[in-house]
Amino acid sequence: MSKYIFLFFFCVSFVLNASSIEELKKLQYSEQTIENVFLFKQGLEELAIENNVSAILMLALAYESGSHWEKDKLRALKYYKKAASLGSSKAFMKLGVFFYNQEDYESAKKFFVSSLNHGGKESIKYLLEIAIINQNKKDVSRFLDLAKKNHIPLDELILKGSKQIDLKKSEMMHYIEDKTFKLSKDYLIGILKIASSLNGAFKNLGYEVEEYIIHNGLEPTIELVLKKIPNTKIDEEMAMFIAGDNILKISILKSLMWANAIEPFMIKEVNHRLSGVEIEVGATATAKIVTQRIDND
């Protein structure tokens, strides 16, 4: 017992003596004993409270990689956001990559631009890729020039995509803007952008978008047809994190959560499993579930 009491006071003493980043970096690569991990974590947390950007980034990386303790994506994002608020280009870059991988290109672009504005030149390649995905000729030209000026190597696929970019609008969007939905195009496009920004959240709830259906009426709506992905690990917390505080996004995701919650009842009581969900999005979101009889043979 006296050994552990001594260890406790030794650890507290180490932390209260204001560990330097240099000392903590030595601990970062030292043997991962209980004592070293304790000292490493507590030392970083003390410096993070003082807004030490290096310490905040080290904490974020540890939570992201699981190198010193259990992985925690949300804690990693929390620390990256804190570092970004203090002007860290690396933190902006990390946040941009996170949303890029979630296929939320609108959010990703904002973080990559912030990284670039704070000196993070490595974000140029991602910004170019997003410009190609969005068929934005002006941005493609702009980021190609920046890549050349800053000697950023570009692979052949990106160069090919930038040359073949076609700015003609899709038939659906052309129809929306120039025909039936002339007066409400901005409203509809806004809903489409909201829906498309949730692709990563949908996957975290076990779904993927099959198609969008546009309904014309007094209040135009868009219907999302979502297909259930079998054997998917559900992460509701991450899905809601992606939605942020947008009420409409939260409403859409809660429709999927409701569908997931009711599926066990359908299997047990009526021998049907969930195959998909159709969500009609306007000022609010309403959902209907699509079921399929379970073959008992």
Q: What is the CATH number of the domain that holds 154?
A: 1.25.40
> Quick one: tokens of 155?
């692979």
Mean pLDDT of 142-161: 75
Mean pLDDT of 80-90: 91
Query: In 3D, which of 119, 160, 118, 127 has the Cα closest to residue 145?
Result: 127
Domain final position from 45, 66, 85: 85
CB of 215 within 8 A of CB of 222? Answer: yes
> Quick one: tokens of 95?
């946040």
Q: Total structural domains in the chain?
A: 3
7-16, 107-116, 175-184, 276-285: segment of lowest average pLDDT: 7-16
Mean pLDDT of 33-58: 81
Is the model's pLDDT at 112 over the cut of 60? Answer: yes
Same domain, yes or no: 240 and 221: yes
Same domain, yes or no: 81 and 97: no
Same domain, yes or no: 250 and 184: yes
Predicted local distance difference test score (pLDDT) of residue 246: 82
Same domain, yes or no: 114 and 53: no
Predicted local distance difference test score (pLDDT) of residue 160: 58
Same domain, yes or no: 204 and 275: yes
Domain final position from 132, 163, 194: 163
Taken in order 31, 36, 42, 46, is the CA torsion positive or negative? negative
Same domain, yes or no: 101 and 70: no
pLDDT digits (tens, 9 = 90+) for 275-292: 999 988 876 678 888 888
Name, in order, each residue with C-beta under 8 angstroms of 193's C-beta and a sequence gap of 6 or more.
106
pLDDT digits (tens, 9 = 90+) for 184-226: 667 777 778 888 889 899 999 999 998 888 776 556 778 889 9
Is the model's pLDDT at 237 over the cut of 60? Answer: yes
Same domain, yes or no: 7 and 47: yes
The reported pTM is 0.55
Measure the CA–CA gap between 86 and 60, rounded to whole angstroms: 14
| Half-sphere exposure at residue 52, Cβ-oriented, CA atoms within 13 angstroms | 18
Predicted local distance difference test score (pLDDT) of residue 115: 92
Same domain, yes or no: 198 and 280: yes
Residue numbers of the domain that contains 250: 171-293
Predicted local distance difference test score (pLDDT) of residue 20: 75
Same domain, yes or no: 203 and 257: yes
Predicted local distance difference test score (pLDDT) of residue 155: 67
Domain final position from 45, 69, 85: 85
What is the pLDDT of the chain when averaged over all its residues? Answer: 78
Same domain, yes or no: 79 and 102: no
Residue 270 burial (CB count, 10 A)? 11
> Quick one: tokens of 28?
């970062």
Predicted local distance difference test score (pLDDT) of residue 109: 92
Measure the CA–CA gap between 189 and 162, rounded to whole angstroms: 24
Predicted local distance difference test score (pLDDT) of residue 63: 84
Same domain, yes or no: 100 and 58: no
Same domain, yes or no: 81 and 93: no
